[in-house]
């Protein structure tokens, strides 16, 4: 698994040419789309080592807390958090809360299909991801 994570982090950094803005946007949007399909908690658990490995490649002379809290790494952590959390709103299976609510609605006689949830949830997810993209850009790269 460690080899796969290192390979993935190298591919992301190569794709974005080491630009932290581009890397943040890739992490944000990839996390959102993936979290709409995979529950966000195991996704974030799996992605944490990827962010750590990217940091190790970018700043190999730093270690421990100093590395994980590197000022330029903060947008990646926020991209992962925002993408995974808000991306889970896109589908009925994207977050545990969605699964629970769909089940409770079904028991109450108000069936919510996967497609119906998707019709409402996915556009909201896209809107919140656009807002998150602008926020990250302004917060970390403009202001």
Query: What's the CA gap between 10 and 28, in Å, rounded?
Result: 17
Given this model, what pLDDT does residue 2 score? 61
* DSSP per-residue letters across 26-64: HHHHHHHHHHHHS-HHHHHHHHHHHHHHHHHHH-TT--H
3-class secondary-structure state, position 18: coil
Mean pLDDT, the chain, integer:
92
Question: Which of the two residues, 5 and 15, has the higher pLDDT score?
Answer: 15
pLDDT tens-digit profile of 61-99? 888 878 888 888 999 999 999 999 999 999 999 998 999
3-class secondary-structure state, position 119: helix
Q: Where are the domains positioned within the chain?
A: 2-142
Least confident of 46-55, 100-109, 128-137: 46-55
pTM equals 0.89
Q: pLDDT tier at 1 (50, 70, 90 boundaries)?
A: low
Query: What's the CA gap between 103 and 38, in Å, rounded?
Result: 18
Q: pLDDT tier at 18 (50, 70, 90 boundaries)?
A: confident
Q: pLDDT tier at 130 (50, 70, 90 boundaries)?
A: very high
Query: What's the CA gap between 118 and 122, in Å, rounded?
Result: 5
Query: What's the CA gap between 40 and 34, in Å, rounded?
Result: 8
Given this model, what pLDDT does residue 69 score? 85
Long-range contacts of 40-48 (CB under 8 A, 24+ apart): 40/84, 40/85, 40/87, 40/88, 40/94, 40/95, 41/96, 43/84, 44/80, 44/81, 44/84, 47/80, 47/84, 48/80
């Amino acid at each position: 698994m460690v080899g796969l994570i290192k390979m993935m982090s190298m591919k992301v950094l190569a794709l974005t040419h080491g630009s932290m803005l581009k890397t943040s946007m890739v992490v944000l949007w990839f996390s959102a789309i993936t979290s709409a399909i995979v529950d966000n908690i195991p996704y974030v658990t799996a992605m944490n080592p990827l962010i750590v490995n990217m940091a190790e490649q970018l700043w190999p002379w730093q270690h421990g807390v100093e590395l994980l809290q590197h000022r330029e790494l903060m947008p990646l952590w926020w991209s992962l958090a925002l993408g995974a959390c808000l991306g889970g709103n896109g589908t009925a299976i994207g977050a545990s809360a969605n699964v629970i609510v769909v089940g409770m609605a079904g028991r109450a006689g108000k069936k919510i299909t996967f497609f119906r949830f998707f019709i409402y949830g996915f556009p909201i997810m896209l809107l919140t991801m656009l807002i998150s993209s602008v926020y990250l850009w302004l917060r970390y790269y403009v202001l």
